Structures are given as structure tokens and as C-alpha cells.
Amino acid sequence: MSKIKFYTEYDIAGTWELGKIVEKINNRSIETDWDISDLLEFHNILKYIKIKRFSEYIIQETKVDIKKYEEKIKRKIGIFLSNHNDDFLHLFHNIDFDNSDDFFEVFEDYKVYKSIKAECLQQFFEKENVHIYAFLKSKRLTSFFDEVVRSVLISDPSNAEIVLSKYLKENELFLPPSLTESDILILIQEYIVSPQVNTNVLRKIITFPPNKGMKIPDKIKLYAKRKVNEEEERVFANETGIESRIMISYLEDQEEEVSFRTEGRSISIKVSKKWIEENTDYPTLWNNFIYLFGFVDETMRLFLDSRKSESSALESLFIPQAAHLYYKSSTFDTKEMVSNIQIQSYVQVLRSLGVKLEEMIEWFFGTYMKEEFQIDDFIVKMPSTDASYFEKCRTILPEIDRIFKQYNTLVEDGVIDHDLIQMSSSSFKTKEITSFNRKKYVYSTSNWFKTVSNLLFSDQSGIFRLPNRSKKHSNFFNLINAEKLSKSEFQEHQLKKLQLLFDNDLICESFLGHIEFVDWKTIYILKELYDSEVMSYWHYPHEIQVLIEELESRNLVDIETSLFSRNEQDYIDYYLNKSKFTNGHDIRNKYLHGTNTNDEREYEIDYYMILKLFVIIVLKINDDLCIKDGIF
């Protein structure tokens, strides 16, 4: 039988661990001679006993006097430690790695550390199979052995990973008080040039945010960036990389407006140039971003943004995740490559027809908004055709702020007051751009939503893999849609999870005994929010809107008003600045503060990225105005 281990009070493993505790009590295992593994196991049993509902279960199953049993464990732990006071650290080599935390908990809780000399601890950490990570989870131990811990940390460059994880709050760790910022920066520099360098850790250095209690200088970030480039060149030189190909072509003789074909990691997009040539009016050319290129979906939600639902559970384990990092999956990277190729190629095709996207942008704000929505004096100035790409980037970026300021004034006052706009020189944050429409975006807010959605749609829910069914399904939702199943086909551990769906009236048994969904409208909303993380309220039928409002009254969803959804805000911020995401393009600051490179090709790439943002802004403003006027 495996050793008893305490994780957290609500960890699902607790059920099995309690069963092992009952067996151990009934077998009077406490009476046997202990080794260090037994001591750590009973140390874990004490953690279960301290939780009332666990101790009540143990009493019910064993009839033991729990207080006396607890005292007996503590007494026996005390006797063991008194017999091993001098050689306790040597016992570490007799435990499993998973028990490292428990070992140092005992070391601290029973004050064994007070009898250990600093030089003994130093020698302990110099042994090959001892890592300092578990030790750093104790503030008391780290402070008590301050100089030793500092010495151990700075002696090995790989410990830079531990220090970074502490500052990025990936783990609850404590550093010795004597460890200085200078020590840490030297350690990071040594790590960058060390043989065991990891490119994922290097990216943490490059994207390290400014508000984490330590500042990594730009020079060190540059060293890390160059090292990443070296490592990537080495990997691709050995042909161990994965090649992706995206091809877009505009065909004169293609009748179908657009076709997509995916083969492995290759994507082929074929667009009818004939269609474009025959429909060169500006409204249709704008609609091509919706219906040909799919920048937004049928409810006008941005399709290009990053969504965690697009990653498998396995892939998500390898994607760096933190509040200061924009989540970038392989699907997101592919969407980025496709949209970048689409915008560049489309601009070139338009130019061949004598049409400029910049003129389409000016037309939308200056002519279309006036004719269609009676909005006057909306001013947007695009760069001249003859300007260099560097000049275009410098010229076009301030227009984004001008658009946002004008739109906010329009929403708040009903007119655009340019004198008022000129009173402010500050930039707008994307989340501050308002909307004409209340109840604009719907978000899931409750743990209930998260729990049931994961059961229904996640590839890791575990309730859709049935041993007697050969067909492969990616989640429970697809399984129920495709198969006629009864409860008897599910295993016991699956039925426990299924019961939650039954109890919440999401599934039921039909009169034939088959499992089916109770209310498709609720399932539809759950799936929309799971897949896209947001719903655009006004683009759904009335019955869905009514159900959304009912869910809001039960505090299961939030409804917010803004021009851009949260995901759209993040996507635009990812491009424009590093105020939220340190792994973003930072285009705005790059050109406003002169940190751009002297590379004309990079200027060109940046300019197309900025044009893509303008397209998104136009589509979202047009949608907001159409909702306001009931045109959708």
C-alpha cells in the first residue's frame, strides 16, 4: 500500500487517503518500529486528524479515541526525533522525492533545525541528490540559515529558475534576507551563459515585468534574447523544428469567393480575385474582412484573439502562463500568421485595382459614418502614399488615440467636441472605450460555470471515455450528441461526476433510458462561453437574451458595456504596448519613444500590423453603431 499523503482539504485524493488511514489504525500500525518514511506518513495523518470532518469520519470507521491517538502519534514522533537529533539530515536520503516537503516541515515544526550547525547544513546541500527548492518553502528555515541558503543559491546558476519563479509568484517561496538584487542579477547572467539553459526560462527573463519587486536591466534581457536566438538557430540547424506553411492566392477564374484547405500543418487559402474586381465598392471591400477573411465571427466577436479553449490540456502544460504574459497557443500563432498574410496580400490586391486601404479607413470615418449614422466631424488622417514605412508608422499610431477619444466623446455627449478632446494629452486605455449599447458583452463569472463547462466540453473531463465504445469523441458534449447511452455504460467514478450534471438539470434520462440534454438553450450558452469566453448580447435571439438575463439575476454571468470585449482589449493591448503584457509587440511605444530598429522590412511588417488593428477598430465601431440603430 502506498504511503499516506496530505494534499489539500478539498483534494479528490483525500477519499482514498482516508481509507488508508482507517486501515492503518485498525491494523495498529503505529505500534511497529518506525523508519523516517513511517514518521512522515504519520505526520501526514496528523494533518487529516486536524480537519473536523475527516476526524469524525475516522472515529466513525475505527471507534478510536482520536485525541489519544493524536497524542500517541506526537509522542512517538518526539521519541524518534530525540533518537535521531544529530543525524536527522542524513535520513533525507532514505525518503522518496515526493516527501521532501514533509521532511522539512518536520525539520521546522519540531525545531530539529535548532540543533543543526550551519556547516552541517552546507555539507548537506552539497550532496548531489539534495535540492534547495523544498527548503525555500519555509520562511523560518530560510531566515535561520540565511548565509548558508544564500551561499547555496548563488553557487549554482540553475537556481536562477527558482528565484525567477519566486518573483513571478509561480510558487510560494522565501529567499534569504542577505540575498541582494546584485546577487540575483549575477546569478541570472551566469544562467544565461550556462550549458543547462532553458529557452522557456530565458523568455521569462525577457518578458519579466517591472512591478515584481526586482528590476532586470534591459541589457540582461538583451543577452537572454540573443541566447534564445542562438538556441533556436541551433535547433532548426539540426532540423528538429516543425515547419508550418501558409499560402494565399487570388485566382482570376475561381467562382467560389474563398476556399480553405488544411493538410497537416499546411494551410492553403484561395480567394476569387474575380469577386473582388467585380465588387470594388467600399462597403463590400470592408465586408470581405468579415466574410472572406473571417476577422470576426457571425456575432461580430473578434476571431483572431487567443482563447484557452483552443489549446488541449497537454499543450497548455507547455505554454508559459502568467498575468503579465499574453496566452499564445499554437492555434493563436496560426491565426496570427494567417491574418497577417491576409492583410498584406489584400492590401496589395487592392492597390492593383487602384484602391488604398488607408482611403477606405478615411472614407468610413469621414463619409460612411455621416451618411449612415448622421455622425459629423469624425476626423481621421492616414499617412501619405509616398511616405516611408517608418514615417507611416509614426504618423498612423496617434490616430488610434484620436479615434478612441472622438468615439468616447460621441458616446458621452452625442457630438464630437474637438476643443474638449484637445484639453487632454493622455492616451486612452482600450478598456475605457465606451459603447452606445448597454448589455454589450456577457462573461461567465461563477465556479458553477467553470465546473459544468469543463465536464461538458473539456477533453480532460474523464466522463466521455467508455471502454465498450470504439468511437472516439473529444468530449462529453460530442459523445452525447453522437451516441445513445444509458447510465449503466459509465464507470462508478464517472457516475459521480455525471451526477453533478443531473443535479443541475443539464442532463436527464429519457423515457427510453438514454442520457440527453435537458435545455438546449442553456447548453448553447455554456458552449458559447466555453469556446469564445464571451457572448455579444445583441447578436442572439430574444429567447437566448432572456435566459442570459435570468443567469445574470442568479449571479452566474456578468454583462458589461464597452466597445471591445475583454479578449479584444487584451489583443489590442498585446499589439500596442507592454503595460499589461510584457511579451507583446509594443508597437506604440517602439515608435513614440524611439526604441525601434533601423530595419525597413520591420517597419513594413509593423505597418501592416497597425493596419490590421485599424480594420478591427472599424469593424467594432460599425457593429456598435449598427446595434444602436437596430441594423443587424
Looking at residue 562, its pLDDT comes to: 97
Answer whether residue 238 shows pLDDT above 60: no
Residue in the block written with cell 530560510: 142
Residue 446 has pLDDT above 90, yes or no: no
CA distance 41 to 134: 17
Q: Which long-range contacts (CB under 8 A, 24 or more apart) does 378-387 make?
A: 378/406, 378/410, 378/416, 379/406, 379/418, 382/358, 383/358, 385/356, 385/358
What is the arithmetic mean of pLDDT over 455-483?
A: 84
**Domain extent for 483:** 443-560
Query: Final residue of a domain: which of 144, 159, 186?
Result: 186
Write out pLDDT tens, residues 155-204.
999 999 999 999 988 788 999 999 999 999 999 999 999 988 888 899 89
Looking at the fold, whether 178 and 29 belong to one and the same domain comes out as yes
Quote the pLDDT of residue 470.
59
Handedness of CA 188, 192, 193, 196 (dihedral sign): positive
Distance of CA 543 to the CA centre of its chain: 32
66-123 pLDDT, tens per residue?
Answer: 999 999 999 999 999 999 988 899 999 888 888 899 999 999 999 999 999 999 999 9
The reported pLDDT for the residue numbered 169 is 84
| Rounded average pLDDT over 364-379 | 95
Residues 62 and 174 in one domain: yes
Domain end residue (candidates: 513, 536, 560): 560
- Tell me what the mean pLDDT of segment 447-454 comes to: 90
- Mean pLDDT estimate for the chain: 90
Q: What is the 3-state secondary structure (H, E, C) of 151-192?
A: HHHHHCHHHHHHHHHHHCCCCCCCCCCCCCHHHHHHHHHHHH
Residue 486 sits in the same domain as residue 580:
no
Q: Are strands 535-536 and 441-444 parallel, antiparallel or unpaired?
A: antiparallel
**Residues 609-630: tens digit of each pLDDT:** 999 999 999 999 999 999 998 8
pLDDT for the residue numbered 239: 53
pLDDT grade, residue 419 (50/70/90)?
Answer: confident
> What is residue 145's predicted lDDT score, i.e. its pLDDT?
96
Query: For residue 270, what is the enclosing H or E element?
Result: strand 266-272
Same domain, 32 and 151: yes
CB burial class (10 A; 0-12, 13-18, 19+) of residue 535? buried
Where a domain ends, among 186, 219, 240? Answer: 186
- If one counts the domains in the chain, the total is 3
Is residue 477, in this structure, part of any structural domain at all? yes
Write the CB contacts of 622 (distance below 8 Å, at least 6 apart in sequence): 286, 364
pLDDT for residue 242: 56
Specify whether 424 is located in the same domain as 460.
Answer: no
